[in-house]
Amino acid sequence: MATAAPTLSSQEVNNARFNAEAAEWDNNKKHVESVQKCLEALLRYVPELADERGKNFDVLEIGCGTGLLSLLLAPRVHSLVGVDTAEGMIDAFNKKVAALPSPDKANLAAVNVLVQDADDIHVQGAAAALATRRGESGKDHPYRFDLIVSHLTLHHVPEMAPLIVTLFQCLKPGGRIALTDYEDFGPEAVPFHPKSKREGVQRHGIKKEEVETIILGAGFNEVRVERAFVLRKEVEAENGKPEREMDFPFLICLGRRS
Ligand SMILES: C[S@@+](CC[C@H](N)C(=O)[O-])C[C@H]1O[C@@H](n2cnc3c(N)ncnc32)[C@H](O)[C@@H]1O
């Protein structure tokens, strides 16, 4: 009798997909364009990042991938720790960072972990290593962050509510989240991913009211979930509709831990 192949968890499906895509990730112009638009939105919604005040920010990035956003943010902030569940993405991140001149990589680190606890030893270790590298090891423990960002990752997370609670706990008092992902604006949002990439997708974009409720429920103040930018991209032919270009709105999800 044939033995059934073991069923992969959605996390394993995602990790396999992103491990396979990591080496070519940055060569996709739409990946680069969406991150550029994300950065522009962050500079508008978190204005400290646009001036010297950002230099005081310790940033945590969830789903940092190859570091497309991390490397743009790093020169604007004090430190940035990226986390990602796909080892291949972290390897690509580390290769890029290793090639930077020493002063440019002093405040950047990434770890391959699923963060479920603010005191996660990998995150704490990365933050401590950055502090030591910068001669700041006397800083308070455990490490907490001023800003948490995440781009195009929430739609892969099986349960958003526990993650948002963990993010709340990862923040310093006064710290903020600024999370971006494409919006679920109805069935038309489904073609954002071609059929071949839909298996590890937990939701076809994020819903404004649902995320707002989750962020409020986690204890955040100053909660806002707004359309921040639009990404135009080609989608494949499906359900009798031809290959075409579509506009996908992106939401920015904001909240502050008071
Ligand atoms: C669509 S990619 C975006 C990567 C990067 N933010 C960018 O825009 O180039 C989503 C990333 O989130 C990671 N990911 C998925 N679920 C995650 C989780 N729960 N925690 C951390 N990373 C996760 C994936 O491994 C992948 O690298």
Taken in order of first residue, the domains within the chain and their CATH numbers are: 10-256 (3.40.50.150)
Each residue's pLDDT tens digit in the chain (258 positions)?
Answer: 556 667 788 889 999 999 999 999 999 999 999 999 999 999 999 999 999 999 999 999 999 999 999 999 999 999 999 999 999 999 999 999 999 999 899 999 999 999 999 999 999 999 999 999 988 876 678 999 999 999 999 999 999 999 999 999 999 999 999 999 999 999 999 999 999 999 989 999 999 999 999 999 999 999 999 999 999 999 999 999 999 999 999 999 999 999
CA-closest residue to ligand 1 atom 19: 157
Q: How far is the CA of 218 from the centre of ligand 1 (A)?
A: 22
Q: How far is the CA of 64 from the centre of ligand 1 (A)?
A: 6
| Cα–Cα distance for residue pair 47/57, rounded to 1 Å | 12
Q: List pocket residues of ligand 1, CB cut-off 6 Å.
A: 14, 18, 31, 35, 62-65, 68-69, 83-86, 89, 114, 151-153, 156-157
Question: Residue 131 corresponds to which amino acid?
Answer: A
Q: Check residue 91 and give its pLDDT.
A: 98
CA-CA-CA-CA torsion sign (25, 26, 29, 34): positive
Helices 10-21 and 87-98, axial angle in degrees (round to 10): 30
Bridge partners, residue 245, by sequence: 234
Between CA 150 and CA 155 the distance in angstroms is: 11
Q: How many angstroms separate the alpha carbon of residue 82 from the centre of ligand 1?
A: 10
Query: What is the per-residue pLDDT for 10?
Result: 87
**What pLDDT sits at residue 49?**
98
* pLDDT attached to residue 2: 55
Query: Mutation test of ligand 1: which of 34, 35, 84, 198 has the most ligand atoms closer than 8 Å to its C-beta?
Result: 84
Question: To test ligand 1's pocket by mutation, which of 85, 116, 151, 229 has the most ligand atoms within 8 angstroms of CB?
Answer: 85
Query: How confident is the model at residue 138, as a pLDDT?
Result: 62
Q: How much distance in Å is there from the Cα of 73 to the middle of ligand 1? A: 17
- The pLDDT value given to residue 37: 98
Rounded to the nearest angstrom, the distance between the alpha carbon of 26 and the centre of ligand 1 is 14
Torsion-angle region of 186 (φ positive above 0: left; ψ -120 to 50: alpha; else: beta): left
Cα Dmax for the chain: 67
Tell me which residue of 113, 165, 175, 115 sits closest to 144, measured CA to CA. 175
Name the residue among 112, 106, 43 with its Cα closest to residue 73. Answer: 43
What is the number of the ligand 1 atom nearest to the C-alpha of 150? Answer: 6
